[in-house]
Structure 1
Amino acid sequence: MNARDRDRDVEGRARSARPRDGLGRPLPYGVAGVERQPEGVVRSPGQTVVEAQRLLDAGMPFHAHEVFEDAWKSGSEEAAPLWRGLAQLAVGLTHAARGNAVGGARLLLRGADALAGLEDAYGIDVAGLVGWARELAGRVAAGEHVDAAAEAPGLAGPPNAPGGPRRA
């Protein structure tokens, strides 16, 4: 396949049209996959939290990462560190669920470090997420298998049981 034969989006940028699974892994052409998140969607912070939580609860942290990334790129400069840190947590959970223990633990810790010290915003329990990410990173680094839906954090808390914030 040469460069002209590559899959392209409507703007002509190279973009794989291969279907993806719920963790964002490419599948063979012609196989049914999970619908991708549209890129560049501008949402309010509240809409971002609701959509990302829906995707996390469905075991699709890769897709939640894309929602956080849209918020990071389209939101205020002041909110960018929050959205970027949340995107890192979602990618860390993605890698952990894919079986990449080293990358998963590293990204969970990077996201936790990025969020540490930030204030709660938009109803997000930042401190609870930092604790969740660090605890999960330790389990992932120790070789524990991770199910993305079972480990999905609740963005708004309140914290309960080991494993971090979950919605009541």
Structure 2
Amino acid sequence: MGSTREGQDARDRDEEGRARSARPRDGLGRPLPYGAAGVERQPEGVVRRPRESVAEAQALLDAGKPFHAHEVFEDAWKSGPEAERALWRGLAQLAVGLTHAARGNLTGGPRLLRRGAASVEEWAGGSGRWDPYGMDLAGLAGWARRLAGEVEESGTAVDARAAAPRLR
């Protein structure tokens, strides 16, 4: 059962009344104590054009914020056409895999990187498109598998900024 803070419900809520933690987050999306200075969060539910999603996610990856890039991909997954949902879900998995690898999750990070690689390859194979919106899906899948192997072999967390992929 969640603990309450003085004068607040047990669960934080957004404007629509949905449960959403108001705790600040660091650059890798980890919750910080209430009142701590955190990284500005990505707004949820933003509908962007696909190329805008790719550009925004790349800027976040370049800044070492893969958790936030995952949220951009998640918005595209939830708001995009049904035929592209597996693509955006796979890209979100790649970003979450990098997030976990940077947090030091040496099992979950590689697992998510490989799952994301398989998802984007499966989507591309079924769609016949390896470069949607200018993205290099084959290159991303290769990056993810290499990084997964490096994390497992080294047994250490990665620097999210230094390990970030190039989407295009």
C-alpha deviation, 1:80, in angstroms: 1.0
Match of 1:51 in 2: 56
Structure 1 distance, partners of 2:116, 2:10, is 37
Q: Say which of 132, 140, 164 aligns to 1:129.
A: 140
Q: Say which of 133, 158, 168 aligns to 1:146.
A: 158
C-alpha deviation, 1:141, in angstroms: 1.5
Q: Which has the higher helix share?
A: 2
5+ residue gaps in structure 1?
157-168
Structure 2 distance, partners of 1:51, 1:37, is 10
Match of 1:92 in 2: 97
Matched, 1:7 2:12: yes
Q: Which moved more, 1:72-81 or 1:100-109?
A: 72-81
Read off the aligned partner of 1:26 and give its amino acid letter.
P
Map 1:1-168 → 2, pairs under 5 A: 1=3, 4-117=9-122, 118=124, 119=129, 120-142=131-153, 143-156=155-168
Indicate the RMSD between aligned Cα atoms, in angstroms.
1.2
TM-score computed with the length of structure 2 as normaliser? 0.90
> Residues 112-146 of structure 1: CA distance to partner in whole angstroms, max 9, x if unpaired?
11111512200000000000000000011121430
Structure 2 distance, partners of 1:79, 1:14, is 28
5+ residue gaps in structure 2?
none
Match of 1:159 in 2: none
TM-score computed with the length of structure 1 as normaliser? 0.90
Read off the aligned partner of 1:51 and give its amino acid letter.
E
DSSP 3-state at the match of 2:68? helix
Match of 1:160 in 2: none
Q: Which runs of 4+ in 1 moved over 6 A?
A: none
